[in-house]
Amino acid sequence: MPENAPTILKDRQGGMETPRAPSATERMVKQRQRTAWQADCDSLLAAHPFTGALTRSLDPVPVIDSRLPTLMTDGHHLFANVHFIARLSAKMRRFLLAHAAYHCVGGHFLPTSKPDKHRWTLACEHTVNYLALLERIDIPAQAILYPAQAGKDIVSVYEWLAHHPCPSRDQPLDIHRPDLRLAGSRIAIIDPDFQPHTPDPTVARDWRDLAVTHACQSDMIDQEILTYLLAPVDR
Ligand SMILES: [Zn+2]
């Protein structure tokens, strides 16, 4: 069975209600959003060549699917709910593109062995947003960034978060794989384009190699970015 197989719903009378697919009008909206995101990629590449080059390795896939209210990456695609991204400014869309590419470089689409999944999610958020900071990309006020953990590796951030007085107050801007609404949730629309790949450690290694290659080719890269990229990962 695919990782996100459709869930059959029960209607109010107890009968079976099958989720619908996006309508013809919704499919047109999706196509328009794909074009808009391509323009965002071009703009990011012009202003931030290192990050822009990374985003070129992500296939943007606009979706209309009840399981994905915002956006997420599986290391191959950037799945984005078109109703969510249509409300965003171009600056915010560019930030989220960079954010997703950095998640790929960090291999954050892979499962973690850490017991507290939410704390791990927050540590992932902090480290990718810190990369955005180093790349001088505008970061929205609601993005998670812990000044006391600037430059720290992800495991250090995860351990530091054990002392957070209320971690549930902090929430990511996007969907991280463990948070995806799977079987048991109410699903009204299933988009056949929303087919995340199974997490693959080889893909994570390829992303890191790609990032190091791009960083080495860039004469404007911050040395701290290279240090981050070359640090060992313990997830
Ligand atoms: Zn995120």
Cα 149 to middle of ligand 1, angstroms = 17
Task: State yes or no: pLDDT of 100 exceeds 80.
Answer: yes
Q: Quick one: pLDDT at residue 60? A: 92
Domain assignment present for 166:
yes
Domain assignment present for 234:
no
* pTM of the shown model: 0.87
Cα 226 to middle of ligand 1, angstroms = 20
Report the pLDDT averaged over residues 130-155.
94
Q: Quick one: pLDDT at residue 196? A: 94
Domain assignment present for 46:
yes
175-224 pLDDT, tens digit per residue, is 987 666 554 467 789 999 999 999 999 999 999 999 999 888 877 777 78
Domain assignment present for 235:
no
Whole-number Cα distances in Å, 47 to 3, 101, 167, 214: 37, 16, 34, 15
Tokens standing for 148?
């006391």
CB-based burial label for 74 (10 Å; 0-12, 13-18, 19+): buried
Counting Cα atoms < 13 Å in the Cβ hemisphere of 228 gives 29
| Residues contacting 216, CB < 8 A, separation 6+ | 226
Cα 206 to middle of ligand 1, angstroms = 19
Give ion ligand 1 contacts, CB < 5 A: 172, 174
Share of the chain above pLDDT 70, in %: 88
Domain assignment present for 4:
no
Query: For residue 14, what are the domain limits?
Result: 9-229
Domain assignment present for 2:
no
Task: State yes or no: pLDDT of 16 exceeds 60.
Answer: no
Tokens standing for 219?
């004469």
Q: Quick one: pLDDT at residue 230? A: 73
| Minimum mean pLDDT range among 7-16, 42-51, 96-105, 191-200 | 7-16
Tally of structural domains, the chain: 1
Report the pLDDT averaged over residues 147-152.
94
Tally Cβ neighbours within 10 Å of residue 54: 24
Domain assignment present for 218:
yes
Domain assignment present for 3:
no
Cα 85 to middle of ligand 1, angstroms = 15
Q: Which residue has the higher pLDDT, 135 or 12?
A: 135
